[in-house]
Amino acid sequence: MRTALAFWRRSKGSATPMTNVVHRPGENDWIRAALMFALGLILLGTLVAPLAASAQNLGTSPQFGQAVQGQQATTVEGTVLNIVNWACNVIAPVIAVACLGIAGWHFKSGRGYMGWGVTGVALMVISGLGRMAEGFITQAQGIQ
């Protein structure tokens, strides 16, 4: 005579049967389909763009103080340089001060403040590291 293993035995209490019924809509959700198609195009573009990009030749020396030799700040390279400078010198410190202010307000109110405080300090560190890298680059121009 065989006995069933312990995990095969039924429990003493009765289980309620679970019947999950999935109701599908009668018509298509075209907005969702369009958004998913756009998201797919963005993902495909993100994967294909590095393969299609062609770099510009800067010559034998790196160019600092301008985006690419012979180009202005209105080009893509100059725009990226301006965005990085703007983010490190303006946006990050302003948001950091706001986060630290909210952390102080939450501390005074007796609510959780560590998340806001850590975010503010992290943004100040990011700003400082960006400014430090910018200083290193501009000081290294004269090194041959």
Query: Residue 114's pLDDT is what?
Result: 94
Query: Residue 99's pLDDT is what?
Result: 95
Residue range 123-143: average pLDDT? 77
Domain spans of the chain?
A: 88-144
Question: Is residue 124 left, alpha or beta, with left meaning phi > 0 and alpha meaning psi from -120 to 50?
Answer: alpha
pLDDT at residue 141 is higher than 90: no
Q: Give the model confidence (pLDDT) of 32-64 as tens digits.
A: 899 999 999 999 988 887 776 655 555 555 555
pLDDT at residue 102 is higher than 60: yes
Full-model pTM: 0.45
Maximum Cα–Cα distance for the chain, whole Å? 92
Taking Cα atoms as reference points, which of 110, 132, 111, 128 lies closest to residue 120? 128
**Helix, strand, coil share (%) of the chain residues, nearest 5:** 60, 0, 40
Q: What values do phi and psi take at 20, rounded to 5? A: -95, 120
Query: Residue 49's pLDDT is what?
Result: 78
- Cβ proximity of 113 and 101 under 8 Å: no
